């Protein structure tokens, strides 16, 4: 049985939907904190059990009978959250091993590094070390940077006509749906082991490029305005953005300007059998939806 954690979340649920196209429902199980939110999956024949990353015994019960376990990153970000997140992932790895799973998969990131300027990447790197130390066969899925983050960054600019942010670098923006499809292929066909190649879209685009694409779609100019790190931080704080969130955003810009997300790789396209969705398509769909 293939077990997917976090199946009530965006990526986890999308992976389950893709698995249902490839394997019988009774060979899929989900581990979720709130089984009530997964009733629809249960009605379709998926095994639904409660699993809480902070309760090791619940994870073991949720993973019972597992052949493979997909650990979807708990999403605890920021420096303060790293020790907690690592403990949660360790609990999940231990539970998978105790349940007799033959392989563990983890949703990591292309920027995974213990020295990253972006805190979540340190979190991913630490979890990858746990996977190596577990002695279990594993696959660490080095997902490309989520395109959803680009939509957050451009959202205000569409209203104001100005994309104001500090210096950045090119990013291989990648959509959840493509990553979910690739993950289902990896699980169902037992593909890839260890650290995977970067699972990315086929191009890299920086903030200037995003502003240009948005301008073309809108038919009016979105200006890319570069400000200093200090000015950006002050602007965010003055707008009421919590300091922890400001630090997260700054970390992304600092890492991208160092080229941490500038690599593209054909592996994702090979797995899904088509070109990955482009950032242009993502922006167009989002902008037209907002205008509609």
- Per-residue pLDDT, averaged over 79-90, amounts to 75
Q: What whole-number distance in Å separates Cα of residue 52 and Cα of residue 55?
A: 5
Banded model confidence at residue 82, pLDDT cuts 50, 70, 90? low
Examine the pLDDT at 78 and tell me if it is beyond 60: no
| pLDDT at residue number 290 | 74
pLDDT at 80: 45
Average pLDDT over the chain, rounded to an integer: 94
Which of 158, 157, 123, 120 is closest to 249 using CA atoms? 120
User: Would you place residue 74 in the very low, low, confident or very high pLDDT band (cuts 50, 70, 90)?
Assistant: confident
* CA–CA separation, 33 and 258 (whole Å): 37
pLDDT digits (tens, 9 = 90+) for 47-70: 999 999 999 999 999 999 999 999
Proportion of the chain above pLDDT 90, given as a percent: 88
Q: What is the pLDDT of residue 292?
A: 61
Residues 92 and 5 sit within 8 Å (Cβ to Cβ): yes
Chain center to CA of 93: 19
Radius of gyration of the chain (CA): 20
Per-residue model confidence (pLDDT) at position 288: 80
Tell me: the pLDDT tens digits for 217-238?
Answer: 999 999 999 999 999 999 999 9
Instruction: Give the angle subtended at the CA of 218 by the CAs of 214 and 224, to the nearest 5°.
Output: 40
For 111, 118, 216, the CA distances from 132, given in Å and listed in that order, are: 18, 22, 46
**Residue 178 token pair:** 């493509």
What local confidence, expressed as pLDDT, does residue 168 receive? Answer: 96
Contact indicator for 223, 160 with CB cutoff of 8 Å:
no
Q: Which residues pair with 126 in a beta bridge?
A: none
How far from 279 is each of 45, 145, 222, CA to CA, in Å? Answer: 35, 11, 16
pLDDT tens digits along 148-192: 989 888 888 988 999 999 999 999 999 999 999 999 999 999 999
- Residue 83 is predicted with a pLDDT of 76
Query: pLDDT class for 79, splitting at 50, 70, 90?
Result: very low
Segment 119-128, tens digit of pLDDT: 999 999 999 9
CA atoms within 13 A of residue 218's CA, in its CB half-sphere: 22
User: Angle CA(72)–CA(74)–CA(80) in degrees, nearest 5?
Assistant: 150
Per-residue confidence (pLDDT) for residue 76, from 0 to 100: 55
Residue 63: both structure tokens together: 């993973």
DSSP state of 23: S
Mean pLDDT of 13-30: 98
- Please say whether the beta carbons of 180 and 11 come within 8 A: yes
Question: Which is nearest to 196 in space by CA: 270, 146, 253, 248?
Answer: 270
Place of tokens 């704080």: 237
DSSP string, 110-136: TT--TT-SSHHHHHHHHHHHHHHHH-S
Burial class (CB in 10 A: 0-12, 13-18, 19+), 194: exposed
Query: Looking at residues 27-41, what average pLDDT do you find?
Result: 97
Q: How far apart are CA 202 and CA 267, in angstroms?
A: 10
pTM of the model: 0.94
Per DSSP, the three-state class of 85 is helix
Give just the sign of the alpha carbon dihedral 162, 163, 166, 169: negative
CATH code linked to domain 2-143+176-195: 3.40.50.720
């Amino acid at each position: 049985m293939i077990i997917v954690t976090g199946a009530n979340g965006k990526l986890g649920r999308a992976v389950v939907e893709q698995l249902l196209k490839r394997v019988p429902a009774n060979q899929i199980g989900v581990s979720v904190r709130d089984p009530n939110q997964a009733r629809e999956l249960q009605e379709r024949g998926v095994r639904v059990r409660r699993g809480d990353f902070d309760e090791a015994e619940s994870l073991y019960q949720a993973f019972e009978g597992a052949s493979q376990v997909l650990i979807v990153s708990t999403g605890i970000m920021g420096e303060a959250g790293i020790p907690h997140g690592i403990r949660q992932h360790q609990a999940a790895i231990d539970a998978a091993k105790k349940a007799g799973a033959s392989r563990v998969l983890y949703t990591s990131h292309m920027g995974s590094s213990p020295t990253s300027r972006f805190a979540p990447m340190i979190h991913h790197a630490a979890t990858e070390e746990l996977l190596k130390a577990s002695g279990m066969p594993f696959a660490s899925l080095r997902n490309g940077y989520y395109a959803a983050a680009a939509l957050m960054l451009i959202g205000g600019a569409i209203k104001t006509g100005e994309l104001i942010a500090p210096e950045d670098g090119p990013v291989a923006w990648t959509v959840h749906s493509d990553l979910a499809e690739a993950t289902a292929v990896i699980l169902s066909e037992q593909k890839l082991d260890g650290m995977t190649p970067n699972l990315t879209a086929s191009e890299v685009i920086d903030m200037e490029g995003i502003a240009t694409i948005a301008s073309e779609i809108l038919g009016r100019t979105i200006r890319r305005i570069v400000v200093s790190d200090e000015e950006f931080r002050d602007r965010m704080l003055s707008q009421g953005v919590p300091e922890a969130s400001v630090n997260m955003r700054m970390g992304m810009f600092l890492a991208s300007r160092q080229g941490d997300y500038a690599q593209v790789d054909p592996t994702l396209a090979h797995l899904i059998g088509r070109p990955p969705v482009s950032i242009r398509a993502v922006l167009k769909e989002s902008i037209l939806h907002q205008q509609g």
